[in-house]
Amino acid sequence: MSPEVITACATTGARVTQVCRLVGLYARGRDGRDAIIGQTTLAALMDCTVRTVQRALAAAQQLGLLACVFHGRHLTWIESAQAYANGSTQRRFTNVYDCTTPPDLAATIALAAMRHHRNVAPTEGLSSLQSSALALPLSRRCAARNDNAAARRHQQAKARRAKSGVYRLATSLSLRVIWLRTVSRGRLCGLLKPFAEAPWPWSGAQLVDAMDRVCREHHVNAPARATGSPFGLLKWFLARIDPITDHPDAGRSFAVPEPRCLTCGRVRQVHDRYAVATGDPHRWEPDVRTTP
């Protein structure tokens, strides 16, 4: 490595080696191309700040070890709407890197490839796996390499979350309240958890009716849009709704009615004892109006 480049970027050779290895592990193929990885992920794996990762990436690109083929950007309004319609919370694209070969090492790597009769990538071989002072305790996502294990685990966690009662309540409420459609449903779960886990779970329609009641009590019209934060407006509404006492079914008895006799109106146990004690001849015929 060139000491001048390392000094100019205010980094170290160890950091540059670490960032190159990690970017290579996220590459799609064995040639080290199309490595999609964010700077925050690199900072977490390297146990350093994002600024340290940026300096190491700048030094690696100046040394010819990495090439940024796509610069990350935020999604446009149309792309954000399409992602939200597909159930994704993505808000930006991350950088895409290619592992490249420095010009001064091209002849050496070409000679090594001819000897071993296979393609050699800068991050491929025993040097990136053997134990050394620069070896990293890589996570499962980093060790998965090209298997897309992290994306698969993310989809599995998302499917499990979508089956939960609080997520279904958030989905139902966001479909009924137009000013909540810009808020991710996962963010609403924290506010709606007491209502989904109440003794009588709430539905989206019941919450909308309760919010309308709050508007009538405070002599205001139901908002068609949130002038400030939609999350804050929902928090204001839910703070004035008790998840237990304000439920429409809070005063209703959910006990299963015990069937009674059509003739004498007694329950089955009392009817049998009365028949044995008095010799009452009428048979047990349950009343269909009291039978659950």
In a domain, residue 246? The reply is no
Same domain for 18 and 140, yes or no, is: yes
Same domain for 148 and 271, yes or no, is: no
Where is average pLDDT lowest: 38-42, 184-188, 239-243, 283-287? 283-287
95-141 pLDDT, tens digit per residue, is 889 888 777 766 665 555 555 444 444 444 333 333 333 334 444 44
264, 262, 286: which is closest to 275 by C-alpha?
264
Asked if residue 203 has pLDDT above 60, the reply is yes
In a 13 Å sphere around the CA of 235, the CA atoms on its Cβ side amount to 10
Burial of 133 (0-12, 13-18, 19+ CB in 10 A): exposed
Phi/psi at 269 (nearest 5 deg)?
-65, -45
Tally of domains within the chain: 3
For the record, the structure tokens of 206 come out as 């019941």
Same domain for 228 and 260, yes or no, is: no
Same domain for 111 and 224, yes or no, is: no
Q: Among 126, 156, 186, which residue terminates a domain? A: 156
Asked if residue 37 has pLDDT above 80, the reply is yes
pLDDT value of residue 292: 47
Same domain for 113 and 199, yes or no, is: no
The parent domain of residue 127 ranges over 3-156
pTM: 0.39
pLDDT value of residue 111: 53
Phi/psi at 177 (nearest 5 deg)?
-110, 115
176, 178, 175, 207: which is closest to 191 by C-alpha?
207
For the record, the structure tokens of 169 come out as 């309540």
Buried (b) or exposed (e) across 17-37, using 16+ Cβ within 10 A? bbbbbbbbbbbeeeebbebbb
**Rounded to an integer, what distance in angstroms lies between the CA atom of residue 232 and that of residue 132?**
51
Q: Among 135, 156, 177, which residue terminates a domain? A: 156
In a domain, residue 101? The reply is yes
Mean pLDDT in residue range 165-180 = 88
Same domain for 91 and 233, yes or no, is: no
Mean pLDDT in residue range 237-251 = 86
pLDDT value of residue 126: 35
Q: Return mean pLDDT, the chain.
A: 77
In a domain, residue 243? The reply is no
In a domain, residue 249? The reply is no
**Rounded to an integer, what distance in angstroms lies between the CA atom of residue 287 and that of residue 268?**
11
In a domain, residue 11? The reply is yes
Mean pLDDT in residue range 2-13 = 84
In a domain, residue 206? The reply is yes
pLDDT value of residue 195: 92
Q: Between vectors from CA 105 to CA 103 and to CA 109, what angle results, nearest 5°?
A: 120
Asked if residue 2 has pLDDT above 80, the reply is no
Same domain for 20 and 129, yes or no, is: yes
pLDDT value of residue 207: 92
**Rounded to an integer, what distance in angstroms lies between the CA atom of residue 91 and that of residue 68?**
20
Same domain for 222 and 123, yes or no, is: no
181, 186, 184: which is closest to 158 by C-alpha?
186
53-107 pLDDT, tens digit per residue, is 999 999 988 888 888 888 888 888 888 888 888 777 777 888 889 888 777 766 6
Same domain for 75 and 43, yes or no, is: yes
Same domain for 49 and 142, yes or no, is: yes
Calculate Rg over the CA atoms of the chain: 33
Q: Strand 35-36 vs strand 92-93: parallel, antiparallel, or unpaired?
A: unpaired
Q: Three-state SS for 56?
A: helix
